[in-house]
Amino acid sequence: MSPINAYLTFDGNAAEAMRFYEKTLGGKMQMMMTMAQAPGAEQFPPGAADRIMHAALAYGDGLLMASDSMPGMPYEGMKGFGVALTLDTVPEAQRVFDAFADGGKVTMPFGPTFWVEGFGMVTDRFGTPWLINGGKPLV
């Protein structure tokens, strides 16, 4: 059985976001295709060429995938979910949390909680909501 993987939709900044996630998480970008590189690209609306058709970042046993919305289509942002991330140590979780908080919005400051040594919630500057766990489970 495969892990559940997140697929994010951005409004023209998927490439920047995915490169940031690759650097911050230490993952490996497996694919990043623009709409201009996709089969049938001539059918896309004007302004679509540089937008991301599909990106896939391998991290641990899973993938973080993304694309951009089509130009001219309504984009309501990301809401109603969060990407949960568990890191082995509290310092590593704090580092990732701080990187996501830079230019983003902290929903719950990173700190001790009853289920894990460290936890925090943050929406990064790209609009992705993260739930960061770090360290040993306490329950």
Residue 70 DSSP SS3? coil
Q: Is there a domain that residue 75 lies in?
A: no
The domain tally of the chain equals 2
Amino acid at the residue 17? A
Per DSSP, the residues of 11-55 read SS-HHHHHHHHHHHHT-EEEEEEEGGGSTTGGGSPTT-TTSEEEE
pLDDT at position 28, please?
Answer: 98
* CATH number for 108: 3.30.720.110
Measured distance CA(20)–CA(14) in Å, rounded: 10
pLDDT at position 72, please?
Answer: 87
pTM: 0.94
pLDDT at position 131, please?
Answer: 98
* CATH number for 56: 3.30.720.100
Query: Last residue of a domain, which of 68, 92, 119?
Result: 68
pLDDT at position 3, please?
Answer: 85
Query: Last residue of a domain, which of 43, 68, 93?
Result: 68
Which pLDDT tens digits describe the chain residue by residue (139 residues)?
A: 778 999 999 999 999 999 999 999 999 999 999 999 999 888 888 999 999 999 999 998 889 999 999 998 899 999 999 999 999 999 999 999 999 999 999 999 999 999 999 999 999 999 999 999 999 999 8
Q: Is there a domain that residue 29 lies in?
A: yes
Domain containing 120 equals 83-137
Query: Last residue of a domain, which of 16, 35, 68?
Result: 68
As beta bridge partners, residue 119 has: 111, 133
pLDDT at position 139, please?
Answer: 86
